[in-house]
Amino acid sequence: MRMRCTFITLSLSLCLAGSAVLALGQSAPESSRTIVRKIVPIYPEFARRMDVAGTVKLYAVVAPDGKVKSVEVVGGSPVFIQAAKEAISQWKYAPAATETKELVELHFTPH
C-alpha cells in the first residue's frame, strides 16, 4: 500500500494507509478555539473505487463546553458531505466563554 500525506497551512494533516488521505483544516481566523478531539471521516468506498477527490467546507456550531451542537454545510462535493458531517459532529473543542462558529475544510484525496 502506498501512503501519501497532504499538508495545508494552519491545519492538522492526517496520513492514512489504504483508500484515502485527507487533510483536516480549521481555517476561521477569527476563532482561536483548539480542537481537542478529531474524528477522521470515513472515505466512501464507491468514491475510492472511482478515484474521486473532493473538498467540503462546513461550519461547526460549538457550545461553550466544546461540544459540536450542529454542522452547517457551506459547499463542496456532495459525495463527501455526509461523511464530513458525521465526523465533525463528533469533534470536541476546548471550552470557551461563548458559543462559536468554526469554519472547517476537509480535503478527500484517493490514492
Residue 97 CB partners (closer than 8 Å, separation 6+):
64
Distance CA 8, CA 102 (A): 17
pLDDT, one tens digit per residue, over 57-97 is 999 999 999 999 999 999 999 999 999 999 999 999 999 99
Residue type, 35: I
Q: What is the pTM of this model?
A: 0.71
* Mean of pLDDT over the chain: 78
Give tens-digit pLDDT for 12-25.
Answer: 333 332 233 334 44
Q: Which CATH superfamily is domain 25-104 in?
A: TonB (3.30.2420.10)
Where are the chain's structural domains?
Answer: 25-104
For 41-95, list the strands marked E by DSSP: 54-62, 68-76, 92-93
